[in-house]
Amino acid sequence: MNLAFADWAVMALYLLVVLAIALYCSRRNTSTEEYFVGGRRFRGWVIGLSLVGTSISSVTFLAYPADAFKTGWLRYLPNLALPFAIAMAAWFFLPFFRRGNLTSAYEYLEQRFGPSLRVYGATVFIIAQLVRVSMILWLLSLLIQQLVSIPPATAIVLSGLFVGLYTVVGGIDAVIWTDVLQTVVLILGGVLCLWVVVDALPGGLSQLFSEASRAGKFALAEWGEDGPRTTRWTLSLSEKTATMMLFIGLTNWLTEYASNQNTVQRYCAARSLVEARRALWVYLFTALPLWAFYMLLGTGLWVFFQHFPDPLSQEVLAGTARAETIVPWFITEYLPVGIAGLVVAAALAAAMSSLDSSINAVATVSVVDLYRRHWRPNREDRHYLAVARGAAALTMVLMIVGALWLNGATTRTLQDTSTILVSLLGGGMLGLYLLGFFTRTGNTFSAWCGLICTLLFTGWTLLSEQAWWPAALRAPFDLYYTGLIGNVLMFLVGYAVAHLSGRLLASRYG
């Protein structure tokens, strides 16, 4: 697949603008307060668009259209729980993080449950983010390889160095403003793709909707050999019903807005509580339509290739080619010169907006929660600023190394690594925060009891996936619900232990 000179020029211009933003923002980075939270002066609309950019990765740009192209809109269903999660975050979670000029999500854990829980939360976040950024960079390299004939290792190193460079130099100011730019480019790129699809169809947009509707392509259900299966709205732990998918979505979104440093750091960067709440609503009313739009793009590509079939589209539908290749193929083969370059820039933006946020967040947590709190307290601020830049640079290096390792690993190894490290170590974090937000009970001991029970539970479910594990000891539910059950377990155990220990102390000393 080859791009024209005009496409390369568009991409080069976009990358130069990103670097210019980083260099401009670097002039302000004279303190950790600026480097981590931008002086706490951002308006809500800026933070909101930045949140959109952070949450949108290669998954949105490639996987959403791929799913809608090959099946229906089931992937979109968990997103419908987002409004409730945003309302919870705006009115219940935000005040806890806006008190006392917090910088990290895990400072709250120390205030509520003690320093050991803060160290645990920070460590888990760093590990999970290193896995995440390595995977995103690896996926980005796959996209680059489909567009440009360069070796995989070269694609990983060059893209990783570029993102790391502007993040290390620019701090959170560069991250937020480049995320805003990347969100705009991502929206524009998707609009141009859909415009080309609709323009090629004789009946335009109405033809897209009518043909896709007849084929069941908008169904919020699993896809069978003959089309969408019946959508079930029952409560069940043994199958993926629509109701349970909404619960899964709610769990994921509450975790994102209650305990994810990428999000909490933006709460803290807003100039006021009102602006932070405004940011959440901007995010909601931008992200939900954007995700639906990219699902619609995938549906539109299905209609397009029904009328203009080619070998790759048939292979994707037959299952002999990866569905994620359909968007890059359409970009390089069907988009006009110049537009293709802008859409490729949008694809790069989708990945970079996630990578830069995570790099800066890892640096922030490493310095605020670990280095400054436990290893080197009471040093000058310029010392911590230098360490923060070093931590961001180290994160960039580890991200590149991780992506290179993933490039040489099998798909199964990739799945196992992400599942074990993220699901096992990160299990129960939402339940821990909810215990702190919504109850007055709980202390270090009860919180650790809940976490240990959750870790044991998650470990058991992971073992249940192994072929050698005894059938009698396997989990009697769909393992898709491990996170949901684990968070409930964390909350209930923590709450019960706190009450039980409180009664024992009362009876002993009362």
Could you report the per-residue pLDDT of 275-321, keeping only the tens digit for each?
A: 999 999 999 999 999 999 999 999 999 999 999 989 989 998 888 88
For residues 261 and 340, membership in a common domain is answered with: yes
The pLDDT of residue 12 is: 87
pTM of the model: 0.89
For residues 335 and 484, membership in a common domain is answered with: no
Residue 240 has pLDDT above 80, yes or no: no
For residues 353 and 479, membership in a common domain is answered with: no
Conformation bin of residue 428: beta by default, left when phi > 0, alpha when psi is -120 to 50 = left
Q: How confident is the model at residue 1 (pLDDT cuts 50, 70, 90)?
A: low
The pLDDT of residue 426 is: 65
Note whether residue 414 is domain-resident.
no
For residues 59 and 135, membership in a common domain is answered with: yes
For residues 431-458, average pLDDT: 92
Task: Choose the final residue of a domain: 374, 409, 444.
Answer: 409
The C-alpha atoms of residue 217 and residue 164 are separated, in whole angstroms, by 39
Note whether residue 422 is domain-resident.
no
Task: Choose the final residue of a domain: 381, 409, 437.
Answer: 409
Could you report the per-residue pLDDT of 311-360, keeping only the tens digit for each?
A: 989 998 888 888 878 888 888 888 888 788 887 787 777 778 888 999 99
User: Which of 263, 375, 272, 268 is closest to 36 using CA atoms?
Assistant: 268
The pLDDT of residue 172 is: 93
For residues 395 and 433, membership in a common domain is answered with: no
For residues 340 and 379, membership in a common domain is answered with: yes
Return the higher-pLDDT residue of 119 and 243: 119
**Mean pLDDT rounded to a whole number for the chain:** 87
User: Which of 1, 65, 144, 57 is closest to 323 using CA atoms?
Assistant: 65
Residues 6+ away with beta carbon under 8 Å from 17: 181
Residue 48 has pLDDT above 90, yes or no: yes
For residues 78-91, average pLDDT: 94
- Helices and strands of the chain, counted as H and E runs: 23, 2
Note whether residue 417 is domain-resident.
no
Give exposure, 441-465, as e/b (b: 16+ Cβ within 10 Å).
ebbeebbbbbbebbbebbeebbebe
For residues 73-77, average pLDDT: 88
Q: What is the 3-state secondary structure (H, E, C) of 52-77?
A: HHHHCCHHHHHHHHHHHHHCCCHHHH
Asked if residues 147 and 1 have their Cβ atoms less than 8 Å apart, the reply is yes
The C-alpha atoms of residue 265 and residue 360 are separated, in whole angstroms, by 10
Note whether residue 208 is domain-resident.
yes
Note whether residue 463 is domain-resident.
yes
The pLDDT of residue 118 is: 96
Residues 6+ away with beta carbon under 8 Å from 403: 134, 135, 137, 138, 141, 156, 160
The C-alpha atoms of residue 510 and residue 504 are separated, in whole angstroms, by 9
Note whether residue 416 is domain-resident.
no
For residues 505 and 453, membership in a common domain is answered with: yes
Could you report the per-residue pLDDT of 498-508, keeping only the tens digit for each?
A: 988 766 655 65
For residues 403 and 434, membership in a common domain is answered with: no
The pLDDT of residue 6 is: 83
The pLDDT of residue 497 is: 93
**Minimum mean pLDDT range among 48-57, 108-117, 254-263, 450-459:** 48-57
Could you report the per-residue pLDDT of 125-157, keeping only the tens digit for each?
A: 998 899 888 888 887 887 777 777 788 889 899
For residues 70 and 186, membership in a common domain is answered with: yes
Domain count of the chain?
2
Residue 56 has pLDDT above 90, yes or no: no
* Boundaries of domain holding 490: 427-510
Residue 413 has pLDDT above 50, yes or no: no
Strand partners, 227: 224
Note whether residue 107 is domain-resident.
yes
Could you report the per-residue pLDDT of 205-221, keeping only the tens digit for each?
A: 999 999 999 999 998 88
Residue 492 has pLDDT above 90, yes or no: yes
- Return the percentage of the chain with pLDDT > 70, whole number: 93
For residues 378 and 473, membership in a common domain is answered with: no
For residues 130 and 17, membership in a common domain is answered with: yes
For residues 372 and 433, membership in a common domain is answered with: no
Q: Find the CATH number of the domain harbouring 221.
A: 1.20.1730.10
Task: Choose the final residue of a domain: 409, 441, 456.
Answer: 409
Note whether residue 421 is domain-resident.
no
- Write out the two tokens for 171: 């701090």
- Write out the two tokens for 47: 């933070």
